[in-house]
Structure 1
Amino acid sequence: MELFTLPRQQALGKVWLVGAGPGDVELLTLKAYRILKKADVVLYDALVSDEIMALVPADAEKIAVGKRAGKHSAAQDEINQLLVTKAYTRQNVVRLKGGDPFIFGRGGEELETLVEAGVAFEVVPGITAASGTSAYAGIPLTHREHAQGVTFITGHCKLESRPTDWSSYANSQNTLVIYMGILNAGTIQQGLINAGRAASTPVAIVSKATTANQRSVIGTLGELEQLAASPELKMPALMIIGEVVGLATSLNWFNPDEANLSVEETLAVTNQV
């Protein structure tokens, strides 16, 4: 049975798949800012900051379709349906996602639906959470002396029912970045150690990265489950595992207490662009 019935007429509008970046409104790209300012409707995720949403025109329709672990959220099929429906009734439809829409953002799935429906679209990449988080935490993801590669994985799936080949991630010369892994920290810890990654491997968990609420906890892989339970951490949070985490103390430059412009300051600056 078809998920939706397509109207016979040509779609009126275009869908813009826009990455909102990791949180700091100043990390939004110029193109993303321009597209947001002319949006007629915005379907946005829970991870998009209030400062970025403040850039959306006041008369634009705003639809929250965020996905958060343990909380009710719109099903992906519903989001797909909304994108098609809005494209037939509005000129500029913006699908706004935290980070980058093509890195654990289901952007590809949504575009497949638009292709099937014959809806025009364009992708505006954003700074992904891994890049923004590591930069603001003082952790280079690669380093000639510590890490010759980096791997991004998601820890959000039901790892016990869908076994992960942890041996693929046990290389001590590779940095591992885990999205959405807090709830499965114990499984991740045990899987990596059993696969041969040293329990002494440095790890960092960074929450609310690039914002005034950024917090980091640093320890070892053998302490990962304990670190993930820290009351200082608020969602979203990202795990970084590897020797490069040892550089965080000396390379940390970001002071959350001095971070981020207010909404009014942001609007004043961006309106000059």
Structure 2
Amino acid sequence: MTTLDDVTRWWGTSVSRIEPGVIEYRGRPVQDLIGSTSLVSAAWLLIRGSLPSPAQEALLEAALVAGADHGPQAPSIAAARMAATCGVGLNTVVATGVGMLGDVHGGAGEQAVQLFGEIREAERDGEDLAAATDRVLAAWQAKSRYVPGFGHRFHPVDPRRAPLLGMVANAAEQQVVSGDYLRAALAVEDALNRGRSRPVPMNIDGATAVIYAELGFAPPLARGLFVLSRTIGILAHGWEESQQGRRNKGPMPPPMLPAYLGEDAGDSDAGDSAVSG
């Protein structure tokens, strides 16, 4: 027999408490947070259950700012802008862009946290950093020629790398974070560039993965936090596009059309006639 307690526990949660006249985030009244807590700290509180230190908040905020936008050449942004011309609301525009963020576009940060974590685990087991990096990196490269968090199809050097890694290095010096994942990431970068004339630098996914890992976020949360930050850029682009008056915007401006790569119908018929006759 289903009891009232069974019903109330069906959606039981420790994230928030909502009752008539009461809204709490992890046990903290929302009225105490309003005006005194940043959105970044509130996100940390809801996800992790406690408030971050100011230094932790600054690191997380830097990662979120860095990932907020990358222009319409990013599939998530382009899709959102096209959706905005199709007569849908902003919620659908945002959902369209967010729905494009998968393993290839948007998921490299999660994968990079996993990569750096495997190297750190090997170090904890007593393996030398360089040896652990070479072994783990070889295993990843055996599965894919793409190493998550490194190289960029657009930027020879990602302008977001240096400031983010610099903040992590400073935080490590102040013992806010361990710096272990930063060392692992830099070891991967060194290994990838060994003997190469053209460097393969760390990109935004790798740099933010360092921050998320140093702050103790699980790999799937690295993707979730990236999606959270990119939603801001998606919203901004979707709103801008909606104000420009275009309708049914496609991926290429008119009168451009995609190249037809199929067999020409006329040639096909002629060939068939020759063979059958």
- Structure with the higher strand share, 1 or 2: 1
**Greater share of helix:** 2
TM-score range, shorter chain: under 0.3
Query: RCO higher in 1 or 2 (8 Å CA, sep ≥ 6)?
Result: 2
Structure with max Cα Rg: 2
